[in-house]
Amino acid sequence: MKKLIRSIAVFLTVAIMLVSCASNKDITGTTVNNLRILNNTIQDTDIVVNLKEGRNPAPYADKIKTTGALNEDGSLDLYIVHTNDVHGRMDSKDGGLGYPTLSAFLQILRQKANGNVLTLEAGDVTHGTNLANFFYGENVVNLLGYMGYDAVTLGNHEFNYGLKQLNTNLIIEIARDAVPVSNNIKLGGKRILPPYRIFDFSGYRVAVIGLTTPSTSTQANPKYVEGLDFETNLVYELEQTVNEVRNKADYVIVLGHIGFDPVGKDNITSATLCRDVKGIDLFVDGHSHTRLTSPYYDGSSTTPIVQTGDYLNAVGVEKLHISADKKVETFDYYLVTKEEFEDPATSSFLSSLGILSKIEDQAVTDYIASKKATLEEVYKKEVANLPVKYDGARAIVRAEQCDLGNMVTTALATAVEADFGILNGGSFRADLGPGVVTVGDINNTLPFNNYVVLSSISGAGIYEALENGYKSYPDLAGGFPQTNLIVTADTSLEPGSRIISVALPDGTEIAKDDTEYKVATNDFMVAGGDGYTQFGKIIRYERQVNEVVIDYLKENYPLNN
């Protein structure tokens, strides 16, 4: 692992050097510039690096966005477009508005605004759907670059593929000029990414400072963040960086994957940062999946915080009218929802841009379709050989403890080193086995994009959770608990008093007391889904349930057995 960390440090140092070189076209290849298509199709970035000897790495290289794109009176209308917590939802079929629509919108907006558009991503974008995960997020970052994103900060889920893959994704972003920025990720006391980048709009200079949640150190897989520091002197160092860029820029944006839930030793939130650090003009936020229909101001702070929710259900847009003497005269905020994009005539903002019907970038649609076709081939990959059938029939997983539930929850618990695992019966949708099973078989059994979560729960909480799960019996219920716990229940008793005894998988009895246990579940349940409100603090996140189960089956039921 130490060797890996050292190699990643070298890779990331090269990645940082590429920031300035990308701006100066020192990367050769067919598709490394924004909004470029080869033979009418988007191509995956095939990067060939050509570094000139003696070049200053200049990791904070300025980028000239526009020149002469001013109004007649010398004023400037600047649009800031931002997304957060997309979690791989590139396709509108995943529930959000989708990248084909977003790409078309950005192209129209840039044309209407004479290029005065700054596009930002606040993290947790590369992981979260099979379409993203099985390409390790590379298809996502290629599309971010194609759509002309200017800056991207890292969320905790950007680390889900490990450091080596993260480095690959960062280099793709840099090649596409979607520059990754983060002020607080360090290795050996040194930042691994540029803390900021400055953008020049006809002489009006905007600085974008990146921040990554301190919770990454505990919420990401420990082996993927070993040696990295996300928190040391977070407030102090942000203050220093803000002071530095205030001497270089007219407007300062913090692009933070921070959120409204307190994290770290100092209980950091985006609101506390805006309160404690002076000089921030706008905080573009992510991480807490908070949907803000208007900017949020914390107490006496004059810094607006904006966040769009999640899963590309909305896009945030700020329109700044800036006077000839570089003063922000008006600040308008629009949360443009997927419903408005589906029927633009109902949106005053979209209508003002001349968008009156649904829009789509066909090149993005075709790119996503090509990846889906490749994914179908991935689904055919054989991963394990199961000796028996694991029955996933609805009448079983929603009414009784079963071998499929035991096996899957054991896989979850093993992955995060929990005392036990528990899932709602509604997570299971098909049988598994017997015989050779494929990636597609596992995805059919576990079709949802839920993350594995390691959480805490008390002994009393375990009994309460199980009572909640058994309350609807004999009616079939999606909330019925599948677990590798040893549960003795009497369903003839009244709901709320049906659980007689519970033991850990090794037979250790669990008492109804405040003894704390580590439990592996999914993000749906830990958030209170199906009435499960008994979970305590989230210790960390893992990958998706199906990814973890695939690895477990490979290890325990190899193809050659």
482-501: burial string, b at 16+ Cβ within 10 Å, e else: bbbbbbebeeeeeeeebbee
Phi, psi (rounded to 5 degrees) for 89: -80, 70
Q: For residue range 59-89, what is the model confidence (pLDDT) as tens digits?
A: 456 899 999 999 999 999 999 999 999 999 9
Question: Among candidates 225, 222, 185, 127, which has minimal Cα distance to 454?
Answer: 222
Domains of the chain: which residue ranges? 2-31+69-374, 382-556
Span of 108-117, 165-174, 442-451 with lowest mean pLDDT? 165-174
* Higher per-residue pLDDT: 267 or 140: 140
The pLDDT confidence band at residue 58, using thresholds 50, 70 and 90, is very low
379-413: burial string, b at 16+ Cβ within 10 Å, e else: beeebbbbeeebbbeeebbbbebbbbbbbbbbbbb
Whether the full predicted model's pTM is greater than 0.85, yes or no, is: no
- CATH number (1.10.3720.10, 2.60.120.260, 3.40.1160.10, 3.60.21.10) of 2-31+69-374 reads 3.60.21.10
Mean pLDDT of the chain: 88
What pLDDT score was predicted for residue 185? 92
Please report which helix (H) or strand (E) contains residue 145, including its range: helix 138-146
CB 474 within 8 Å of CB 433: no
What pLDDT score was predicted for residue 42? 52
What pLDDT score was predicted for residue 24? 31
Strands (E) across 377-478 are located at: 382-386, 420-424, 435-438, 451-458
Q: Can you tell me the distance from the alpha carbon of 255 to that of 277, in angstroms, rounded to the nearest whole number? A: 14
Instruction: State whether residue 221 is helix, strand or coil.
Output: coil
Is residue 506 classed exposed, middle or buried when 0-12, 13-18 and 19+ CB atoms within 10 A define those classes?
exposed
User: Mean pLDDT throughout 192-213?
Assistant: 95
What pLDDT score was predicted for residue 43? 56
What pLDDT score was predicted for residue 49? 32
CB 415 within 8 Å of CB 542: yes
Q: For residue range 388-403, what is the model confidence (pLDDT) as tens digits?
A: 999 999 999 999 999 9
* Higher per-residue pLDDT: 444 or 264: 444
Residue 14, CA distances (Å) to 136, 141, 194, 319 in order: 21, 18, 12, 36
CB 428 within 8 Å of CB 404: yes
Question: Among candidates 454, 535, 554, 10, which has minimal Cα distance to 221?
Answer: 454
Please report which helix (H) or strand (E) contains residue 403, including its range: helix 403-416
Query: What's at 270, amino acid-wise?
Result: S
Q: Can you tell me the distance from the alpha carbon of 65 to that of 523, in angstroms, rounded to the nearest whole number? A: 40
* Higher per-residue pLDDT: 545 or 172: 545
Most distant CA atoms of the chain, gap in Å: 80
Question: Among candidates 101, 102, 202, 221, which has minimal Cα distance to 161?
Answer: 221
User: Mean pLDDT throughout 472-489?
Assistant: 96
Q: Where are the alpha helices (DSSP H) in 78-137?
A: 99-112, 130-133
What pLDDT score was predicted for residue 227? 87
User: Mean pLDDT throughout 177-202?
Assistant: 91
Instruction: State whether residue 78 is helix, strand or coil.
Output: strand
Question: Among candidates 202, 173, 178, 198, which has minimal Cα distance to 113?
Answer: 202
Which percentage of the chain shows pLDDT scores above 70? 89
Q: For residue range 228-267, what is the model confidence (pLDDT) as tens digits?
A: 999 878 999 999 999 999 999 999 999 999 999 988 778 8
Q: Which architecture characterizes domain 382-556 according to CATH?
A: Alpha-Beta Complex (3.90)
Q: For residue range 324-380, what is the model confidence (pLDDT) as tens digits?
A: 999 999 999 999 999 999 999 999 999 999 999 999 999 999 999 999 999 999 999
What pLDDT score was predicted for residue 188? 84
